[in-house]
């Protein structure tokens, strides 16, 4: 009795695939891959042919007659070539030529309208320029006055140094019980004697001032001025010191006072009224006028700096106003904006509130 042998087949395989050799199967897979790559290359070629350069689009005979979407004509004046993809012109030269023709056609009318109808902003700008010019003249006169005070102060200091020294006036200037009075220092808060309070406060201020720095990347260059900023270059921070030169405790130290140097401070009456008298005490012993030359010079220099800052602010304001006035009547503003004059008999287009 013969035995029946059952052969189980996979449902996804055909009879021919079962009989193929594994080498033949691998060869068939490679052939399919090659066909797939050929199809990809053909698709890329078709895409490149659609986006041709401008030189090829300009030749009508090279265009495909079967193309159902014809290109539009360039908007340039007198141009007969088709447009570039995504543009209204065949080249940049055609676009610039059309823009120039529009400017020549529209701009003269806009300029005539600008001249016929007054502009409120233009009138306000002229008034602001007049005000700025007056303030600039006042500031320049103030700077000249401060420069005069600067030279007068130097002359007073020179006269004071030429005075004779009187050691007998030390007792009358000190006062009776001034050695017992105490005052607190405004910098460190410690109590100190009234006689040496000014010296102590000045040294404390210099000590704390050296801990902070005021610098800039560029040195000061102001024409016609002398002795304003320290401008000492620091190689570590790579900046120039911007303290007042007479008050900079970091880069300028007070010279040693000799024994025979007079104080020379000009004396005043009723706080503000100057007299022709000077302090004849030795400078190292005078506690009432400690560092008076440095403080007077710093006061004058500070006023000069404030005047220069005011003049710089006025120059910036003038530049802004002039720039706004130039842009208001510029090419772009005249081409983009237009004022419609409904009444030809009225030249003033400003709205007036009925009284």
Is residue 159 a contact partner of residue 277, using CB atoms and an 8 Å limit?
Answer: no
**Is 104 a member of any domain?**
no
pLDDT reading at 172 higher than 80? no
Question: In terms of pTM, does the model score above 0.95?
Answer: no
pLDDT reading at 297 higher than 50? yes
**Is 247 a member of any domain?**
yes
pLDDT reading at 135 higher than 80? yes
**Is 48 a member of any domain?**
no
How far is 196 from 85, CA to CA, in rounded Å? 89
User: Longest C-alpha distance within the chain, in Å?
Assistant: 158
Rg of the chain (C-alpha set): 45
**Is 131 a member of any domain?**
yes
**Is 154 a member of any domain?**
yes
- Residue 320: its pLDDT value, please? 95
pLDDT in tens, 57-76: 444 444 444 444 567 899 98
H or E segment at 137? helix 120-161
Residue 176, φ and ψ in degrees, nearest 5: -80, -65
Angle, nearest 10°, between helix axes 292-328 and 120-161?
Answer: 160
Number of domains in the chain: 1
Sign of the C-alpha dihedral, residues 330, 336, 339, 342?
positive
- Residue 42: its pLDDT value, please? 81
pLDDT in tens, 242-253: 888 888 888 877
Rounded mean pLDDT of the chain?
78
- Residue 169: its pLDDT value, please? 52
Measured between alpha carbons, how far is residue 8 from residues 3, 12, 20, 22, 96 in Å?
16, 12, 17, 20, 80
**Is 283 a member of any domain?**
yes
pLDDT reading at 182 higher than 90? no
**Is 184 a member of any domain?**
yes
- Residue 70: its pLDDT value, please? 65
pLDDT in tens, 206-232: 888 787 778 888 888 887 777 888 888
- Residue 127: its pLDDT value, please? 94
- Residue 204: its pLDDT value, please? 86
- Residue 355: its pLDDT value, please? 39
pLDDT in tens, 5-42: 444 444 444 444 445 566 666 666 677 777 777 887 78
**Is 20 a member of any domain?**
no
Give the domain range for residue 157: 120-331
Is residue 199 a contact partner of residue 287, using CB atoms and an 8 Å limit?
Answer: yes
């Amino acid at each position: 009795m013969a035995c029946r042998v059952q052969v189980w087949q996979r449902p996804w395989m055909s009879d021919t695939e079962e009989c193929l050799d594994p080498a033949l199967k691998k060869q068939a897979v490679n052939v399919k891959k090659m066909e797939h790559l050929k199809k990809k290359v053909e698709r890329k070629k078709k895409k490149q042919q659609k986006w041709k350069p401008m030189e090829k689009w300009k030749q009508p005979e090279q265009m495909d007659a079967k193309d159902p979407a014809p290109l539009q004509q360039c908007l340039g004046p007198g141009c007969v070539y088709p447009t570039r993809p995504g543009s209204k012109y065949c080249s940049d030269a055609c676009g610039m030529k059309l823009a120039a023709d529009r400017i020549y056609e529209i701009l003269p009318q806009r300029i005539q309208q600008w001249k016929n109808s007054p502009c409120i902003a233009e009138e306000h700008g002229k008034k602001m320029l007049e005000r700025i010019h007056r303030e600039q003249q006042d500031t320049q006169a103030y700077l000249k006055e401060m420069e005069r005070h600067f030279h007068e102060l130097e002359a007073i200091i020179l006269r004071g140094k030429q005075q004779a020294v009187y050691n007998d006036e030390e007792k009358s200037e000190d006062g009776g019980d001034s050695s017992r009075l105490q005052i607190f220092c405004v910098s460190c808060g410690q109590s100190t004697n009234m006689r040496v309070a000014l010296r102590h406060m000045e040294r404390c201020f210099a000590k704390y001032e050296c801990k902070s720095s005021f610098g800039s990347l560029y040195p000061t260059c102001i024409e016609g001025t002398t002795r304003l900023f320290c401008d000492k270059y620091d190689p570590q921070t790579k900046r120039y010191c911007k303290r007042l030169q007479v008050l900079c405790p970091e880069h300028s130290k007070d010279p040693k006072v000799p024994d025979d140097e007079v104080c020379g401070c000009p004396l005043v009456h009723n706080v503000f009224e100057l007299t022709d008298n000077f302090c004849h005490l030795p400078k190292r012993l005078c506690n009432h006028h400690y560092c008076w030359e440095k403080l007077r010079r710093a006061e004058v220099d500070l006023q000069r700096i404030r005047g220069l800052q005011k003049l710089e602010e006025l120059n910036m304001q003038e530049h802004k106003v002039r720039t706004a006035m130039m842009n208001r009547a510029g090419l772009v503003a005249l081409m983009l904006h237009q004022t419609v004059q409904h009444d030809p008999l009225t030249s003033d287009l400003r709205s007036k509130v009925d009284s």
